[in-house]
């Protein structure tokens, strides 16, 4: 494949805020493509119709452009091999699935949810690995196709062959997996939409992707993809599985322990060039070990041989330190422009003005009243949170706050009215005092007892910042010792 023009892609799902992991993987793909004079493609994997939204898709575009990445082909810029949204390619997937059925590499499965559950229970009782047992494999092909064409509800499964599959990974060498560990995966769901595995392989082939550079969590899925390449008779791409971003405790980075939304980092004033610089340091080292460098310098020096598989730690303090280095080396006029652009443009000020208009007497009062909106961290008055608990232990308060943020994570529409109604219902279910929780939340996210309407503040701050502040307060109060009575 070395003689083919390099074509790489990222394929995020538009189901929430754009993730730092998307920018991290995107940066590596971008650097490899630019270094080799190749093409970098953005594809949107929106086959999860219940969770995918165009607003999230637009946020991905905006966040990746903010951080400094551009793509050669994609839903918003077009290209010769589109469409670049999977939801617009369903007929392509159905045709390819029918080809697999006709060739004998896939089959319709008519098992109901109840039958599938019975299979799992039986396997569990027998202490077997759980997974589909191939019941519908044994239906004669002609009969299965007749039932499928007659409209009987079914999914389409890949007929996994016996033997073993070897994944050739650019960073890890050969990874061998027994096919007996892979069940007959679903390729096409009963609603006619593909699963990730089918869409991924078909799109990568038809879009001419030469190198699949993605996170290591997809290694276990790669045998399924290689089986599909073999069934179709296609040459697979080169696979490169990058180490996952980690928390300090080596667990996979998640919003439960770190902010992960690119929008959050933009909101608190992280410079896009500092963010890219930081991401480029995660798992990759420069030949001279320097820590501050530009995107162009990274592209020029990038090498898969310089990637460490040790699991790069996403250190928020290191990011803020590096951001400070970039700020101190910035021209004064440019820094002033950046600060104004973040905090004092009409677009930035418009949602804040209604919240503080009745609270200020001079224009000079404005900064003090809005200071907590863009702060990366706030001073949480733990003693006030404890006092608001009225007899609760710090452990009980921490538990309540963590349960609250888990509830907030599940809210799709961050609307003030729905937030208030939802949290009041949450309090009834958990038997928490509404007034107590609302005061604690006010203190957690603003550090103040008196603020504009709480849920209007929630909306302006955004889900990522609200969640991060409540989690930080919960951790802090759990480790805090209240004063002796």
CA-to-CA dists, residue 342 to 51, 345, 374, angstroms: 30, 7, 9
Tokens of 92: 């392509």
- Gyration radius of the chain's alpha carbons: 26
What is the pLDDT, as a whole number, of residue 51?
A: 85
Among 323, 268, 271, 266, residue whose Cα is nearest residue 18 = 266
Question: Residue 403's Cα: distance from chain center in Å?
Answer: 22
Instruction: Report the DSSP pairing between strands 7-10 and 39-42.
Output: parallel
What is the pLDDT, as a whole number, of residue 441?
A: 97
Among 284, 211, 289, 212, residue whose Cα is nearest residue 245 = 284
CATH: 3.40.50.2000, 3.90.1150.10, 3.40.50.620, 3.40.1390.10. Which one for 7-74+245-306? 3.40.50.620
Angstrom distance (rounded) from CA 209 to CA 260: 28
Strand order of the β-sheet with 155-158 is 106-109, 155-158, 186-188
Identify any residues that bridge with 415 across adjacent strands, giving them in sequence order: none
Angstrom distance (rounded) from CA 77 to CA 84: 10
Looking at domain 89-242, its CATH class is: alpha beta
In the chain, where are the structural domains located? 7-74+245-306, 89-242, 331-370, 382-479
Question: Residue 434's Cα: distance from chain center in Å?
Answer: 32
Phi and psi dihedrals of 243, rounded to 5? -65, 145
- Cβ-based neighbour number of residue 278 at 10 Å: 26
What is the pLDDT, as a whole number, of residue 454?
A: 96
What is the pLDDT, as a whole number, of residue 1?
A: 44
Among 158, 179, 152, residue whose Cα is nearest residue 100 = 158
- Cβ-based neighbour number of residue 134 at 10 Å: 15
What is the pLDDT, as a whole number, of residue 2?
A: 53
Angstrom distance (rounded) from CA 41 to CA 212: 11
Angstrom distance (rounded) from CA 408 to CA 406: 5
255 is catalytic: yes
Task: Give pTM, 2 decimals.
Answer: 0.90
Identify any residues that bridge with 70 across adjacent strands, giving them in sequence order: none
The catalytic residue among 224, 255, 257, 266 is: 255
What is the pLDDT, as a whole number, of residue 485?
A: 64
Largest CA distance in the chain: 81
Task: Decide: 30 and 284 in contact? Cβ < 8 Å.
Answer: no
Question: Residue 290's Cα: distance from chain center in Å?
Answer: 29
Angstrom distance (rounded) from CA 468 to CA 39: 36
What is the pLDDT, as a whole number, of residue 111?
A: 96
Angstrom distance (rounded) from CA 102 to CA 433: 62
What is the pLDDT, as a whole number, of residue 469?
A: 94
pLDDT mean by block of 10 residues, the chain; 485 residues: 84 92 97 98 91 92 96 97 96 97 96 94 89 93 96 96 95 93 93 93 98 95 96 97 90 79 93 97 94 97 94 92 97 97 93 95 94 89 95 96 93 87 96 96 95 95 92 95 84
Burial tier of 375 (Cβ tally within 10 Å: 0-12, 13-18, 19+): middle
pLDDT digits (tens, 9 = 90+) for 357-408: 999 999 999 999 999 998 888 899 999 999 999 999 999 999 999 999 999 9
* Fold topology of 382-479: Arc Repressor Mutant, subunit A (1.10.10)
Sign of the alpha-carbon dihedral angle for 301, 306, 311, 317: negative
Identify any residues that bridge with 41 across adjacent strands, giving them in sequence order: 9, 73
Strand locations in 234-377 (E): 238-242
């Amino acid at each position: 494949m070395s003689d083919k023009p390099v074509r790489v892609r990222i394929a995020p799902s538009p189901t929430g805020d754009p993730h730092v992991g998307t920018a991290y993987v995107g940066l590596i793909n971008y650097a490899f493509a630019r270094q080799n004079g190749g093409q970098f493609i953005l594809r949107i994997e929106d086959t999860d119709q219940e969770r995918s939204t165009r607003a999230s898709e637009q946020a991905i575009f905006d966040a990746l452009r903010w951080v400094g990445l551009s793509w050669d082909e994609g839903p918003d810029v077009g290209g010769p091999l589109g469409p670049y949204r999977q939801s617009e390619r369903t007929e392509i997937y159905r045709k390819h699935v029918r080809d697999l059925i006709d060739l004998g590499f896939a089959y319709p499965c008519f098992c109901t949810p109840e039958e599938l559950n019975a299979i799992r229970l039986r396997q569990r009782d027998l202490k077997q690995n759980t997974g589909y047992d191939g019941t519908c494999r044994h239906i004669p092909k002609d009969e299965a196709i007749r039932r499928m064409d007659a409209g009987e509800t079914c999914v389409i499964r890949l007929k996994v062959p016996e033997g073993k599959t070897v994944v050739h990974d650019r960073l890890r060498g050969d990874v061998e997996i027994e096919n007996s560990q892979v069940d007959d995966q679903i390729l096409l769901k009963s609603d006619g939409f593909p699963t990730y595995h089918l869409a991924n392989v078909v799109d990568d082939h038809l879009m001419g992707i030469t190198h699949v550079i993605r996170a290591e969590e997809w290694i276990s899925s790669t045998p399924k993809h290689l089986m599909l390449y073999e069934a179709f008779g296609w040459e697979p791409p080169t696979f490169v599985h990058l180490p996952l971003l980690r928390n300090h405790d080596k667990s996979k980075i998640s919003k439960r322990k770190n902010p992960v939304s690119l929008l959050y980092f933009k909101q608190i004033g992280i410079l896009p060039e500092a963010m890219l610089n930081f991401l480029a340091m995660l798992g990759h080292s420069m030949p001279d070990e320097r820590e501050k460098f530009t995107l162009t310098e990274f592209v020029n020096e990038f090498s898969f041989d310089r990637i460490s598989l040790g699991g790069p730690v996403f250190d928020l303090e290191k990011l803020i330190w590096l951001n400070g280095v970039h700020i101190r080396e910035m021209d004064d006029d440019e820094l002033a422009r950046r600060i104004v652009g973040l905090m004092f443009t009409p677009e930035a000020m418009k949602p804040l003005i209604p919240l503080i208009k009745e609270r200020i007497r001079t224009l000079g009062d404005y900064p003090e009243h809005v200071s907590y909106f863009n702060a990366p961290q706030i001073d949480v008055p733990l003693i006030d949170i404890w006092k608001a608990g009225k007899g609760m232990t710090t452990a009980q308060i921490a538990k309540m706050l963590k349960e609250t943020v888990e509830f907030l994570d599940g809210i799709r529409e961050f609307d003030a009215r729905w937030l208030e109604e939802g949290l009041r219902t949450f309090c009834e279910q958990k038997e928490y005092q509404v007034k107590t929780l609302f005061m604690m939340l006010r203190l957690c996210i603003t550090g103040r007892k008196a603020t504009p309407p709480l849920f209007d503040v929630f909306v302006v701050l955004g889900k990522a910042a609200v969640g991060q502040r409540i989690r930080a307060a919960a951790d802090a109060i759990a480790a805090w010792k209240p004063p002796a009575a």
